[in-house]
Amino acid sequence: MPTFEYAPAPESRAVVDIASSHGLFIGGEFVEATGGKPFKTVNPATEEVLSEVSEATADDVDAAVRAARSAYTRVWSRMSGADRGKYLYRIARILQERAREFAVLETLDNGKPIKESRDVDIPLVAAHFFYHAGWADKLGYAALGENPRPLGVVGQVIPWNFPLLMLAWKVAPALACGNTVVLKPAETTPLTALLFAEVCQQAELPPGVVNIVTGAGATGQAIVDHPGIDKLAFTGSTNVGKMIARSIAGTRKKATLELGGKGANIIFDDAPVDQAVEGIVNGIFFNQGHVCCAGSRILVQENVADEVVRRLKRRLTTLRVGDPMDKNTDVGAINSRAQLTRIEELTAAGAAEGAERWDSGCELPGTGFWFRPTVFTDVSQSHRIAQEEIFGPVVSVLTFRTPGEAVAKANNTPYGLSAGIWTEKGSRILWMADQLRAGVVWANTFNKFDPTSPFGGYKESGYGREGGRHGLEAYVKTGGDQ
Amino acid sequence: MTGLASRSRPEVPAPGSVGPPRRPYTLGVSTATDLDPTARARDILGVSRLTNSALTGWLHGLPGVDQVGCEARAAALSTRSIKTTSKAWAIDTAISMIDLTTLEGADTPGKVRGLATRALVPDPSDLSTPSPAAVCVYGDMVPFAREVIGDRGVNIAAVATAFPSGRASRAVKLADTRDAVENGADEIDMVIDRGAFLAGDYLSVFREIAETKEACGDARLKVIMETGELVTYDNVRRASWLSMLAGGDFIKTSTGKISPAATLPVTLVMLEAVRDWRDATGEMVGVKPAGGIRTSKDAIKFLVTVSEVAGEDWLTNEWFRFGASSLLNDLVLQRQKMTTGAYSGADYVADDAPSGY
């Protein structure tokens, strides 16, 4: 029993009212699906069924694409940028006003701690809409090329790890540039996207500009295959990204793919060690490690490795794992049983391959999907846990001797989404950032996101950028493009 | 107030080979009082002669503090939600950790007696309210506090060494310290020579602390670093290690005369220092943020930080203090609220030393 025991501090769920079943949002209205098999979405912390959600069929997707096309040609592409901006500002303000409702719903449906949905996800969602609202009437000055114009109807498929934030990353730039969208949220986390549909209604967004269809892989495939789609934007696993790329090969469809990662968080011997330990924690235990750009590989200079690992383990014993609705929870529930199984399988492989496994030993709740923060030491590049994306609260510690070796090991992965550098030497930060083949390189911090900063990958982490001026490029055609 | 007068240190892990990163050393010493401080420092640094360059190499070899990361960690700790039973525990613990302070040119025997009386009975409407750890006054005011407190468990701390600026000769500062101890102070709050520290004369700061510690006799020594004048977190970390090396029993942020005073990130850096010092030497050193902590909410943030950074061994008034005056009023007010369920107001909290008068 600790001396200073924190009493339960649960956030109230009274602020949200979850309907027992949900239709599809097509043409500005909620409509019944045409015969798909409805599925249930559960709270991963309790396994309680939250709601029943429709499965959109290919016919439903077709209706959504037609609604989006109609809204595109009749209203949205003809509207001035300034007027589009007004709608986006209005959406951003409503999201801020309803922030608590969204945060609670996100935590219930996803399992992430309320402090993260409240302090990170939802504020960033509003920030993305505000940021892109500002661009809507200034696209001609964004150095995108001559005469930037929208592409048309955009199909968007997003993952379950940051449900509403990924929606914002996709919808805000698409709308700012004058496109209309058909978006599919992940099947385990559809509820905040459906609540966002209500926000579109509340903002009186013209019907059909945003359409939201729920479902699993088949629904996503229907969007990818639909001939009326001009561009696809996908965030998710590298495997699904490859399937999408194959599906659209030879078509006129454009695509941006934001896929998996195996980010290296590189700790030099002159690093500010206490902050570096925090950086490791933020890098891999933020959002239960369900982060594509997570710092899942620690590369630590060999002469300080024992010291850093000792401090890391001590820090992990103070992480509070449990009820995501408790305001003091640091690490919440794993999003689904399937994901938990994958994490368990890969960690078992790590131990079997000879890496040293350690976890904090904290108590876990009896129901729901849980995994203790786990550290693997004595890890080699050839271990599966150093190569494959685990997408869970599991970090692999490897060592290096020189800056060149750190770069080589960091780059020795099929992925290239993120990296972190911890050193007090500014010149080394710049040199390293230049050498690392990763879309985002953080210096003396990790997992910091901002709508003004472009995000995207190298190699099997995908292509295209989201956010910032660069992110706009994916949603416009310029010059003489048809 | 058990354990307050005790000089004994709790059982801690034996000194290991784990030192501050990149400067590992092994120790054969057990406590600060066993050896003369220079010999002990030589042992810890692994040098045959304690020179300024040896101290500089050691202090500058400590890992740096990244300002942004440090402040982000403090901000994250501030979001802990402390309710119901944990809030009640935290309020009582915070009250018991206060050094109830008056340090004004206009202090009189009457005001000091009032303050001391308040320390004995912090809330006449609820006698279960714990007493603060100590009252903290100027050295010449110690006898008036003693008249009231006698040996009833509340300590008397006195500031010394030409507080608050520390600008006087060594002889004057040591005489100031001895005078306060002879007047009956249980604890001495000294200020370091910030000028010497900023000029890089660490040996001078070391000697001054060590000699002041000797002049303290049995009194516990708190070393005020005046972090608002050291400015950077790197300086705070170095000053903390230097103060501990020289034998300080507590490291303390501020005099209360300089702004900023006790910020949470500064206190976080100091808590990391005492934690790492115990890892390196097996000794515990206390931490005292002082100045600018006025509300229960603030005090609870500090306790959360103590608990999650230094660890629960520091969660007693033997190892953690708040230097404060008006903080006690707010803690008593919140305590009454938790007992009765209703907020009263300032007029329901007896205050013998209202500030600003």
Phi, psi of A172 (to 5 degrees): -60, -50
Per the DSSP assignment, residues forming a β-bridge with A400 are A301
Closest alpha carbon within chain A to B303: A4
A118 in contact with B, Cβ within 8 Å: no
What is the reported pLDDT for A62? 98
Q: Is B65 exposed, middle or buried (0-12, 13-18, 19+ CB in 10 A)?
A: buried
Phi, psi of A167 (to 5 degrees): -60, -45
Show Cβ contacts of residue A396 under 8 Å, excluding neighbours closer than 6 positions: A296, A297, A298, A350, A355, A376, A379, A383, A385, A386
Phi, psi of B15 (to 5 degrees): -55, 130
CB-CB contact of B269 with B70 (8 Å) = yes
The count of other CB atoms within 10 Å of the CB of residue A366 is 6
Rounded Cα gap, residues A439 and A461, in angstroms: 9
CB-CB contact of B209 with B248 (8 Å) = yes
DSSP A217: H
What is the reported pLDDT for B344? 87
Rounded Cα gap, residues A335 and A194, in angstroms: 18
A302 in contact with B, Cβ within 8 Å: no
Of A14, A181, A186, the C-alpha closest to A88 is: A181
- 3-state per-residue secondary structure call for chain B: CCCCCCCCCCCCCCCCCCCCCCCCCCCCCCCCCCCCHHHHHHHHHCCCCCCHHHHHHHHHCCCCCCHHHHHHHHHHHCCCCCCHHHHHHHHHHHHHCEEEECCCCCCCHHHHHHHHHHHHCCCCCCCCCCCCCEEEEEHHHHHHHHHHHCCCCCEEEEEECCCCCCCCCHHHHHHHHHHHHHCCCCEEEEECCHHHHHCCCHHHHHHHHHHHHHHHCCCEEEEECCHHHHCCHHHHHHHHHHHHHCCCCEEECCCCCCCCCCCHHHHHHHHHHHHHHHHHHCCCCEEECECCCCCHHHHHHHHHHHHHHHCHHHCCCCCECEEECCHHHHHHHHHHHHHHCCCCCHHHCCCCCCCCC
CB-CB contact of A376 with A356 (8 Å) = yes
CB-CB contact of B264 with B237 (8 Å) = no
Give the one of B22, B85, B307 whose C-beta lies nearest to A269's C-beta: B22
Show Cβ contacts of residue B317 under 8 Å, excluding neighbours closer than 6 positions: B1, B4, B96, B97, B133
What is the reported pLDDT for B17? 36
- B63 and A271 within 8 Å at the Cβ level: the answer is yes
Q: Residue ranges of chain B with pLDDT lower than 50? A: 1-32
B85 in contact with A, Cβ within 8 Å: yes
Show Cβ contacts of residue A221 under 8 Å, excluding neighbours closer than 6 positions: A247
Give the one of A6, A271, A278 whose C-beta lies nearest to B82's C-beta: A6
**What ranges in A181-336 are assigned the alpha helix state H?**
191-202, 217-225, 238-248, 273-284, 305-316
Q: What is the mean pLDDT of residues A210-235?
A: 98
pLDDT tens digits for A122-149?
999 999 999 999 999 999 999 999 999 9
Query: Would you mind telling me the total number of residues written for chain A in this entry?
Result: 482
What is the reported pLDDT for B355? 63
Mutate to test the interface with A, among B81, B234, B318 (most CBs of A within 10 A): B81
Q: Rounded to the nearest 5 degrees, what angle is found at the Cα of A9, between the Cα atoms of A359 and B78?
A: 75
The Cα of B17 is separated from the nearest Cα of chain A by a number of Å equal to 11
Q: Which residues of chain A does B272 touch, with a Cβ-Cβ cutoff of 8 Å?
A: 274
Rounded Cα gap, residues A212 and A229, in angstroms: 14
What is the reported pLDDT for B259? 94
Q: Which residues of chain B does A119 touch, with a Cβ-Cβ cutoff of 8 Å?
A: 79
Give the one of A9, A275, A307 whose C-beta lies nearest to B21's C-beta: A307
The Cα of B226 is separated from the nearest Cα of chain A by a number of Å equal to 23
Structure tokens at B318: 């033997």
Query: What confidence category does residue A459 fall into, taking pLDDT thresholds of 50, 70 and 90?
Result: very high
The Cα of A119 is separated from the nearest Cα of chain B by a number of Å equal to 10
The Cα of B1 is separated from the nearest Cα of chain A by a number of Å equal to 17
Q: Which residues of chain B does A273 touch, with a Cβ-Cβ cutoff of 8 Å?
A: 21, 63
The count of other CB atoms within 10 Å of the CB of residue A431 is 15
- B79 and A269 within 8 Å at the Cβ level: the answer is no
What is the reported pLDDT for A2? 85
**In chain B, what are the domains?**
37-341 (3.20.20.70)
Mutate to test the interface with A, among B66, B306, B320 (most CBs of A within 10 A): B66
Rounded Cα gap, residues A482 and B286, in angstroms: 72
Domain ranges of chain A: 21-259+460-477, 264-450
Question: Is this complex's ipTM strictly greater than 0.90?
Answer: yes
CB-CB contact of B97 with B328 (8 Å) = no
Closest alpha carbon within chain B to A115: B79
Residue A453's identity, in one-letter code, is S
Q: Give yes or no for a cis peptide into B164 (omega within 30° of 0).
A: yes
CB-CB contact of A13 with A31 (8 Å) = no
The residues of A assigned a catalytic role are 258, 292
Rounded Cα gap, residues B299 and B141, in angstroms: 27
The question of whether B83 is a catalytic residue gets the answer: no
The question of whether B257 is a catalytic residue gets the answer: no
Per the DSSP assignment, residues forming a β-bridge with B187 are B157, B220
CATH fold group of domain A264-450: Aldehyde Dehydrogenase; Chain A, domain 2 (3.40.309)
A275 in contact with B, Cβ within 8 Å: yes
Mutate to test the interface with B, among A116, A118, A265, A274 (most CBs of B within 10 A): A274
Closest alpha carbon within chain A to B63: A272
Rounded Cα gap, residues A178 and A181, in angstroms: 10
What is the reported pLDDT for B2? 40
Structure tokens at A444: 């003396």
- 3-state per-residue secondary structure call for A64-127: HHHHHHHHHHHHHCCCCHHHHHHHHHHHHHHHHHCHHHHHHHHHHHHCCCHHHHHHHHHHHHHH
Structure tokens at B16: 């290991």
Q: Which residues of chain B does A274 touch, with a Cβ-Cβ cutoff of 8 Å?
A: 63, 65, 69-70, 73, 272
With H, G, I as helix, E, B as strand and everything else as coil, classify residue A26.
strand
With tokens 């809507």, the residue in question is A136
What is the reported pLDDT for B61? 97
Of A397, A390, A329, the C-alpha closest to A358 is: A397
| Size of the A and B interface in Cβ pairs below 8 Å | 81
Q: Could you tell me the sign of the dihedral formed by the alpha carbons of A50, A52, A55, A59, in that order?
A: negative
Radius of gyration, alpha carbons of chain B = 20
At A183, which helix (H) or strand (E)? strand A180-184
A271 in contact with B, Cβ within 8 Å: yes
A381 in contact with B, Cβ within 8 Å: no
DSSP A4: S
B83 in contact with A, Cβ within 8 Å: yes
Rounded Cα gap, residues B81 and A329, in angstroms: 10
Residue B204's alpha-carbon distances to A424, B236, B274, B277, in angstroms, are: 28, 17, 22, 21
B88 in contact with A, Cβ within 8 Å: no
What is the reported pLDDT for A130? 98
- Torsion-angle region of residue A178: left (phi > 0), alpha (psi -120 to 50) or beta? left
CB-CB contact of A409 with A400 (8 Å) = yes
Q: Which residues of chain A does B94 touch, with a Cβ-Cβ cutoff of 8 Å?
A: none
B82 in contact with A, Cβ within 8 Å: yes
DSSP A209: S
Mutate to test the interface with B, among A5, A275, A311 (most CBs of B within 10 A): A275
The catalytically annotated residue of B87, B213, B252, B301 is B252
Residue B326's alpha-carbon distances to A220, B118, B292, in angstroms, are: 62, 12, 9
Q: What is the mean pLDDT of residues A390-398?
A: 98
- B308 and A3 within 8 Å at the Cβ level: the answer is no
Closest alpha carbon within chain A to B69: A275
B73 in contact with A, Cβ within 8 Å: yes
What is the reported pLDDT for B346? 87
Closest alpha carbon within chain B to A329: B80
Structure tokens at B15: 């000194």
B45 in contact with A, Cβ within 8 Å: no
With tokens 């008397």, the residue in question is B156
Helix axes B327-340 and B296-305, enclosed angle (nearest 10): 100
Over the range B105-129, which residues count as b (16 or more CB within 10 Å of their CB) and which as e? Answer: eebeeebbbbbbbbbeebbeeeeeb
CATH fold group of domain A21-259+460-477: Aldehyde Dehydrogenase; Chain A, domain 1 (3.40.605)
The catalytically annotated residue of B99, B288, B298, B330 is B288
Interface of B with A in 167-196 (CB under 8 A): none
CB-CB contact of B209 with B225 (8 Å) = no
Q: What is the DSSP string of A115-181?
A: HHIIIIIHHHHHHHHHHHHHHTT-GGGTTS-SS-EE-SEEEEE--SSSHHHHHHHHHHHHHHTT-EE
- A318 and B308 within 8 Å at the Cβ level: the answer is yes
Structure tokens at B54: 């040896």
The catalytically annotated residue of B189, B193, B249, B298 is B189
- A270 and B64 within 8 Å at the Cβ level: the answer is yes
The Cα of B185 is separated from the nearest Cα of chain A by a number of Å equal to 30
Phi, psi of B295 (to 5 degrees): -115, 155
